[in-house]
A and B are shown apart, each in its own frame.
Chain A
Amino acid sequence: VSNDVAPGDAEQHDVASSVRSYLIGLFLAGALTAASFWTLRTPYLWAPGVGVALAALAIAQMGVHLVFFLKITTGPDNTNNVLALAFGVLIVTLLVGGSLWIMANLDRHHDMGAGWAHPSGESVQPQKLGRARLGGRE
Chain B
Amino acid sequence: VSTVLASAAASADTPLAKRIVVGYGFWIFLLSDIILFSALFAAYAVLSGATAGGPNGAQLFHLDTAAMESGCLLLSSFTCGLGSAAATARHPRWFQIAFLVTGLLGTAFVGLEAHEFIGLVDKGAGPQRSAFLSAYFALVGCHGVHVSAGLLWLGTMMAQVYAKGFRADILRRLLCFALFWHALDIIWVGILTVVYLMGAGS
Whether A associates with B in a native complex is: yes
Quick check: A80 and B178 within 8 Å, CB to CB? Answer: no
> Which residues of B have CB within 8 Å of A96?
38, 41-42, 45
Q: Are A100 and B88 in contact (CB under 8 A)?
A: no
* A1: Cβ under 8 A from any B Cβ: yes
Would you call A119 an interface residue if the criterion is a C-beta within 8 Å of the partner chain's C-beta atoms?
Answer: yes
How many whole Å from A65's CB to the nearest CB in chain B? 5
Interface centre among A7, A84, A87, A88 (most CB of B within 10 A): A7
B62–chain A nearest beta-carbon distance, Å: 13
A65 touches B185 (CB 8 A): yes
Q: A100, B42: Cβ atoms under 8 Å?
A: yes
A-B contact count (CB 8 A): 162
Q: B: which residues have CB within 8 A of A?
A: 7, 11, 16-17, 19-20, 22-24, 26-28, 31-32, 34-35, 38-39, 41-43, 45-53, 56, 63, 67, 70-71, 74-75, 77-78, 81-82, 84-85, 88-89, 130-131, 175, 178-179, 182-183, 185-186, 189-190, 192-194, 197-198, 200-201
Question: Taking beta carbons and an 8 Å cutoff, which residues of A are in contact with B?
Answer: 1-9, 12-13, 15, 18-19, 21-23, 25-26, 29-30, 33, 36-37, 39-40, 50-51, 54-55, 57-58, 61-62, 65-66, 69-70, 80-81, 84-85, 87-88, 91-92, 95-96, 98-100, 103, 117-121
Known pairs A30-B74, A95-B38 / 18 extra A-B pairs, C-beta < 8 Å: A2-B20, A8-B84, A9-B19, A19-B82, A22-B85, A37-B63, A37-B67, A40-B197, A54-B197, A54-B198, A58-B190, A65-B189, A69-B182, A88-B35, A92-B35, A117-B51, A119-B50, A121-B49
